[in-house]
Each structure stands twice: as structure tokens, then as C-alpha cells.
Amino acid sequence: MANETEYKPIEKVSIIVSRGSLEGVYPGLIMANGARMEGIEAQLFFTFFGLEAIIDKRMDHLKVATVGNPAMHMPTIIGMLPGMSAFATRMMKKEMEKLDIPPVREFITLIHDSGCEIYACKATVDMFHLKKEDFCPEVDDIITVGEFYEKSAGAQIIFT
């Protein structure tokens, strides 16, 4: 008789978003959206520069990081040229639009409306001198790392 390992389906995910570039934010949003579409409980925890995606005045202006990004497959000197980040951002947004992936603000609203909880990291909020009113309305709360761990009990934690 073979020893078969049974895996239980994932019931809950907690996704940490720590990067504020367009290519740093979307993986977490796509994973949260996918979880909710599969009926999996999900929460997003934004920390450090990931907060850019939920700061009301900044979330519509995220850009692709072209400098020091090896996945761009170009020398850093090229990525530093004026307009390269804007060009890469336009190209990425165009490709995402073809795939019917919504802009960040719309995506966050969609994910939140589907039942995903959205949190900002208190330590980072304090460090950057931000307040609750700086964030988009979908942010459920500003919580400590300890509170994040409590809310993540039983969840798979994913760091993007």
C-alpha cells in the first residue's frame, strides 16, 4: 500500500505587498483576486513602499521600475534614460488592458467588494507620517504586525 499524502485545500491567504512599483503591486492584487474568485478567504497587508498602492493621492500614479530591475533585460544605464519608466509603464498598462486587468484603484475596489480585507502596516504608516485619511476608502484598518499575525491564523502567508 502506497503512502499517499492528502492535501487540504487552501481556505485562507494573507498576502503581504511591500513594493510600490506597478510590477510589485499587481502580483498581490492578482493573487488576492484569484483567491476570492475561488472562494478562499483573503486579506492584503500593505507595508513599506507597498503603501503607495493604497495611498489615495498616489495609487493612480504607480510606475514600472526600470533601474536595477534585472527582469527588464536592459542595462541600468538604459533604464535611467529620461522617459524609460514612463514608456515601460505605458507598455505594461497596455498589455494588462488587453488581458482585462483593471487599473490599481479599480482592482482594489473590486477585490475589496469581493470580501478581501485590506490593511496598512502601522509601523510603516507611523514611519512615513501618514494618517487613515491618506488612504483609499477600501483600507479596512491600520494594524500592527502582531495584529496581522492574529488575523492570519490558519492562513497561508504569501510575500510578494
pLDDT in tens, 2-37: 567 888 899 999 999 999 998 999 999 999 999 999
Query: In the prediction, which pLDDT does 3 show?
Result: 60
What is the spatial distance between Cα 130 and Cα 52, in angstroms, rounded to a whole number?
11
Higher model confidence: residue 142 or residue 71? 142
What is the spatial distance between Cα 125 and Cα 153, in angstroms, rounded to a whole number?
23
- The domains found in the chain, sorted by start residue, are 14-159 (3.40.1260.10)
Query: In the prediction, which pLDDT does 5 show?
Result: 80
What is the spatial distance between Cα 123 and Cα 47, in angstroms, rounded to a whole number?
8
Query: In the prediction, which pLDDT does 129 show?
Result: 98
Model confidence at 135: pLDDT above 70 = yes
What is the spatial distance between Cα 50 and Cα 31, in angstroms, rounded to a whole number?
15
Write the pLDDT tens digit of every residue in 47-101. 999 999 999 999 999 988 766 666 666 666 565 666 777 777 778 778 888 888 8
Query: In the prediction, which pLDDT does 87 show?
Result: 74
Residues facing 135 on adjacent strands = 55
| C-alpha cell of residue 57 | 493621492
Higher model confidence: residue 143 or residue 98? 143
> Are 14 and 152 a contacting pair, CB within 8 Å?
yes
Residue 30, by phi and psi: left (phi above 0), alpha (psi -120 to 50) or beta?
alpha
What is the spatial distance between Cα 105 and Cα 37, in angstroms, rounded to a whole number?
18
